[in-house]
Amino acid sequence: MIPTLVLLKGPFMVKKLRWFVAHFEEVFCALLFAIMGIIMFVNIISRYLLKYSFAFTEELVVSFFVWLTLLGAAVAFREGSHLGFTFITDRLPAKTQKVLLWVSALLGAVLFIVLIYFSIFQIKDEILLKITSSGIGLPQWWYSIGMPIWSVLVIIRIFQGAHRANQKIGRA
Residue-by-residue DSSP string for 58-123: HHHHHHHHHHHHHHHHHHHHHHT-S----TTGGGS-HHHHHHHHHHHHHHHHHHHHHHHHHHHHHH
Is the model's pLDDT at 81 over the cut of 60? yes
Which helix (DSSP H) or strand (DSSP E) does residue 18 occupy? helix 10-22
Average pLDDT over residues 35-64: 89
Q: Residue 6 pLDDT > 70, yes or no?
A: no
Q: Residue 83 — very low, low, confident or very high, per pLDDT cuts 50/70/90?
A: confident
pLDDT in tens, 11-38: 778 888 888 888 889 999 999 999 999 9
Global pTM value:
0.82
Using the CB atoms, write b or e for 31-66: b if 16+ within 10 Å: ebeeebeebeeebeeeeeeeeeebebbebbbebbee
- Per cent of the chain over pLDDT 90 is 60
Residue 136 CA to residue 158 CA, distance in Å, equals 35
pLDDT for the residue numbered 9? 62
| Sequence-separated (6 or more) residues with CB below 8 Å from residue 114 | none
Domain that includes residue 31, residue range: 3-171
Total structural domains in the chain? 1
Q: What is the pLDDT of residue 26?
A: 92
Output the pLDDT for position 1.
46
| More confident: 113 or 51 | 113
